[in-house]
Amino acid sequence: MPAAKTALLVIDVQRGILNDPILARKKEINQAFDETVVRIAGLIARARTASVPVIYIQHDGGPGHRLEPETSGWPLRPEIAPHPGEQVIHKRACDAFFETTLDAELTAAGIKQLVICGCMTQYCIDTTVRRAVSLGYDAVLAADGHTTADTDTLRFEQIIAHHNALLDGFDAGEHEVRVCPVAEIRLV
């Protein structure tokens, strides 16, 4: 059986995504974000080499939001900037499929498997991974390719570990999520 056609989804890796001035551990969170961006950039480079489509999801926040379009926090991080011809799909909710063209674009390209990385583990990553599987895609979540900030009750490391454990093996019918480190992800 031939390998499923794969696309790489890069979700909300934007300049201001973790730019909250009241974060207690801002230095640690920003360092972890920078390290995650380096791993994502490597994954993007591997995808391009393998001719795997890279699709960027960019959050458009409302007025006053840190990701409001055309503000300093809205652009994608320069380390992972799209190449000409790579798609950028704009969203306004946690779910990258909600009120976007993502599903139609994937269907038109014959994509059956998604490799997912990016930001806001407990919101945009979790919601998009679950929705992808329920829509009939297999998903590979990059275990060390997503990040978030602390909440009032959990540190970002705990949130990431929890979601990696929770989502690994999550399924809907015959489609499921596998969680594995960036270095172990096969792009075909």
The residue annotated as part of the active site, out of 117, 119, 124, 180, is 124
For 69-91, how does the pLDDT look when each residue is reduced to its tens digit (9 = 90+)?
A: 999 999 999 999 999 999 999 99
What is 6-184's CATH number? 3.40.50.850
d(CA 53, CA 88): 11
For the chain, what are the domain ranges?
6-184
124 assigned to active site:
yes
pLDDT digits (tens, 9 = 90+) for 88-140: 999 999 999 999 999 999 999 999 999 999 999 999 999 999 999 999 999 99
Res. 188: pLDDT tops 90:
no
Q: Cα–Cα distance between 17 and 101 in angstroms, integer? A: 22
This prediction has a pTM of 0.95
Which pLDDT score is estimated for 26?
83
List, as one string, the DSSP characters of 68-127. -TTSTTSSBPGGGPPPTT-EEEEESSS-TTTTSSHHHHHHHTT--EEEEEEE-IIIIIHH
Over residues 8-16, the mean pLDDT reads 97
